Structure 1
Amino acid sequence: MAPVDAPVFSTRARNIKISATKLMPMLAAGVGDCVSLGQGVPSFATPAHVVEAVCRALRDSPAAGKYSLQPGMPELRWAVAERLSVEKGLSANPETEIAITVGGMEALLCAILCLCERGDEVIVPEPFYPSHVEQVLLAEGVPVFVALRRDDWGLDPDAVAAAVTPRTRAIVINSPHNPTGAVFAKKDLLAVAEIALRHDLCVICDDTYDALSYDAPAFSLASVPELRPRLVAVGSFSKRYALTGWRVGFAFAPEPIMAQMLKVHDCAAICAPTPAQIAALASLTGPQGIYEGFVAALAARRNRLVKRLAAMAPAVGFNRPAGAFYAMARYDLPLAPMDVATRLIREAQVIVIPGDSFGPGGAQSLRLSCGGDEADIDAGCDRLAAWLAAERKKA
């Protein structure tokens, strides 16, 4: 039989790649006995009241195993709208302006595919969350990187303004920020809102970590009424409610934008998984003290990671994270971040994420997560410190 030629792949697929946050755990799976300071997964189990709500629905309601309405279960959309109103002062019509999605990631993708034409520019602060960039590339748009301030990872409105061109279509804002753990200042966010209004730009507000701000509440551009006609606000149940594996998120957008996003949602997913929506509803409407406990525990873990990193000086430098559960740790070895990260997996059995996978600001850096429990943080930092000390002796 004659050999079969490989198919010709689309430019869209060839222009994107899997992020290092996914690749490093895959590499570690082949090594074994690895401790993770890598992927952003809080260690908390699904709360018992959520498990019980899903099990009860699956036992008692035949609808629990079937498709929901395409934009999501009505009661969940109403609960999301209520939470947005209480926390951000954002008044949303749950019938036409709220959609439940397969994680916040699908909501972001629906927004980008609806708002971005081929050749359109989307401003992305850098260091960036890689999927923001890959989604713009998938839409055949052009990501335009705007450097965060290097001294504090703060948002720089002047740099944002300088990046606007006639081709600019949208600005992506993620605060608390992945990968740096920064919480952007309200005055800087409001300055960026003014830029968006002045140039008729859309704002895609990725509020995945909105509840995980430890030193002061995080301000969201979803709270700016003037932005509402050009705003997409994305939320996730993954981090705040420890539902990473359930894959459920949501989006707010004004009806004209949401109508387009729902078309993409329909052809990509039909609807979010109904059991996951039931879990999300139980998270929103059930006892909230457990989630306040999650935030308190993550704040303590942030402090623990900061203390451990400070003890590694001068081998490691970092900016103290104020939110999310990440820190960018700068090292002083003449090695590329991917080389360091892969060697740490193979030689020290600790997972970290190479910093330059988040853009130029991550050069000579590693992204570390404090989402794991205290034992994992200590074990990971012990292994990281020992490996760095051994390498510095060689240098």
Structure 2
Amino acid sequence: MSDVFRVSRRVQQIRISATKLMPMLAARVGGCVSLGQGVPSFRTPEHIVEAVCRALRDKADAGRYTLQPGMPALREAIAADLAARKGYMVNPDSEVGVTVGAMEALLMALLTVVDRGDEVIIPSPGYASHAEQVLMAEGVPVHVPLRADDWGLDVDAIRAAVTPRTRAVIVCNPGNPTGTVYDDADVRALCELALERNIMLISDETYDYMVYGGGEPLSPASLPEMRRHVIVVNSFSKKYALTGWRVGYCAADAAWMGELLKVHDAAAICAPAVSQYAALAALTGPQDCVDDMRAALSARRNLACARLDAMAPHFDYVQPRGAFYIMARYTFTDAPSDMVARRLLEEGRVITVPGASFGPTGERHLRLSFGMEEAELDEAFDRMAAWTQRVVASGGLGG
């Protein structure tokens, strides 16, 4: 009798991302401080909490399914926000879908756009789950290196990587894990390439609000000629400290949205009603909480960069222009990044994420998140500096 445990090919070829795996390992080690998963330390703003409490008390539908694409009031607020911030005009009834976080929206996009064997270009280093989701869609992730000097978008390299099987390019701007903000000229050049070669752009704009010393980056969706060539994905998680509420959205031309919502229906039916009330309160309420969080993260970025500067020449980095991540290149060992991250976890009690998990260009790097409180940041860098000195003094990591 054959063994019933036969795992599908699509699941066999994917894995839990290191971003989530490292905290799981740290829970077994104990006593760790984190520069790992991108979870800012902020509490959900009080006006959002109060709005949800009122909805739970006063609205009979707060615990029920919503309409499959999301509450009409929330979709209207999302459409108004896209128009105001990006000049991207969408019909809230037919071109916006509320999702279970940006992760579901990304998976919806890939399952809708990608057929078995289709290639999806991912600028590298790129968010680890992008590649896993391409594999889940039975596509082929194609990692194209970012510019080494500034983690900028290398449109010429992307053009060279396009083949007849290329179906899409995933653009994460500002970037996770690099903290880069792509130049508007490069985004425009990528859009021209997409139109020329009939390629879709999946635009992950989760960190669009978090830019240091400048305005939001150019969204491909703001260009009218890109209307049918782009699917926008965004999240309320980081901007409004709603990571645990699991609510995001996708926006696209109505022809695409009708197909995207088929996947949403099969996977989730709808985003949680209570989380949609939270998102509605976030979008329509006061925005000073976002300004306060942005200011705090700017100070934490400066602290993290100063601590890395003090660890030279053992680490170097490109200063992030957005998001809250640094890809720190280590120079004190030739060991692979997964070994370095695990040894730092086990011996130094510091959680980081191995750079290779973000694509081949990420090797010899550790992704560091500076989303936590400054005291925890200082403790993490104290431990990291002490561990690095011990490794250097002992002559390396060994086997």
Structure 1 gap segments, 5+ residues each: none
Partner of 2:148: 150
Return the alpha-carbon distance in structure 2 between the equivalents of residues 6 and 379 of structure 1.
48
Return the alpha-carbon distance in structure 1 between the equivalents of residues 162 and 328 of structure 2.
31
How many Å apart are 1:215 and its aligned residue? 2.2
How many Å apart are 1:186 and its aligned residue? 0.6
Partner of 1:96: 94
Query: What secondary structure is seen at the aligned counterpart in 2 of 1:314?
Result: coil
Q: Is the 8 A contact 2:34 2:351 kept in 1?
A: yes
Aligned AA (1:295): R
Query: What secondary structure is seen at the aligned counterpart in 1 of 2:342?
Result: helix
Aligned AA (2:321): A
Query: What secondary structure is seen at the aligned counterpart in 2 of 1:229?
Result: coil
Q: Is the 8 A contact 2:35 2:377 kept in 1?
A: yes
Aligned AA (1:387): W
1:186 aligned to which of 184, 187, 195: 184
Please provide the CA RMSD for this pair: 1.0
Partner of 2:286: 287
Per-residue deviation, residues 164-190 of structure 1 (Å, max 9, x unmatched):
111111111001000011111111111
Per-residue deviation, residues 87-122 of structure 1 (Å, max 9, x unmatched):
000000000000000000100100100000111111
Return the alpha-carbon distance in structure 2 between the equivalents of residues 17 and 309 of structure 1.
31
Aligned AA (2:6): V
2:15 aligned to which of 17, 27, 32: 17
Per-residue deviation, residues 287-344 of structure 1 (Å, max 9, x unmatched):
1111111111111111111111011000111111110000011112122211111111
Aligned AA (1:244): T
Return the alpha-carbon distance in structure 1 between the equivalents of residues 234 and 114 of structure 2.
20
Partner of 1:60: 58
How many Å apart are 1:219 and its aligned residue? 2.0
1:37 and 2:35 correspond: yes
Partner of 2:241: 242
Partner of 2:352: 352
How many Å apart are 1:6 and its aligned residue? 4.5
User: 1:208-357 residue pairs with structure 2 within 5 A?
Assistant: 208-217=206-215, 218-332=217-331, 333-357=333-357
Aligned AA (1:39): Q
Q: Percent identity?
A: 56
Return the alpha-carbon distance in structure 2 between the equivalents of residues 5 and 119 of structure 1.
29
Off by >3 Å, runs of 4+ in structure 1: none
TM-score, structure 1 normalization: 0.98
1:74 and 2:75 correspond: no
Aligned AA (2:281): A
Return the alpha-carbon distance in structure 2 between the equivalents of residues 106 and 363 of structure 1.
27
- What number of residue pairs does the alignment pair up? 393
How many Å apart are 1:134 and its aligned residue? 0.8
How many Å apart are 1:246 and its aligned residue? 0.4
How many Å apart are 1:222 and its aligned residue? 2.1
How many Å apart are 1:362 and its aligned residue? 1.4
Per-residue deviation, residues 351-395 of structure 1 (Å, max 9, x unmatched):
000111111211111000001110111111111111011101111
Aligned AA (1:82): A
How many Å apart are 1:4 and its aligned residue? 8.0
Return the alpha-carbon distance in structure 1 between the equivalents of residues 230 and 241 of structure 2.
26
Aligned AA (1:190): R
Return the alpha-carbon distance in structure 2 between the equivalents of residues 4 and 278 of structure 1.
49
Partner of 1:159: 157
Partner of 2:387: 387
How many Å apart are 1:14 and its aligned residue? 0.4
Q: Is the 8 A contact 2:143 2:360 kept in 1?
A: no
TM-score, structure 2 normalization: 0.97
How many Å apart are 1:224 and its aligned residue? 1.5
Aligned AA (1:238): S
Aligned AA (1:119): G
Partner of 1:84: 82
Return the alpha-carbon distance in structure 2 between the equivalents of residues 188 and 48 of structure 1.
39
Partner of 1:361: 361
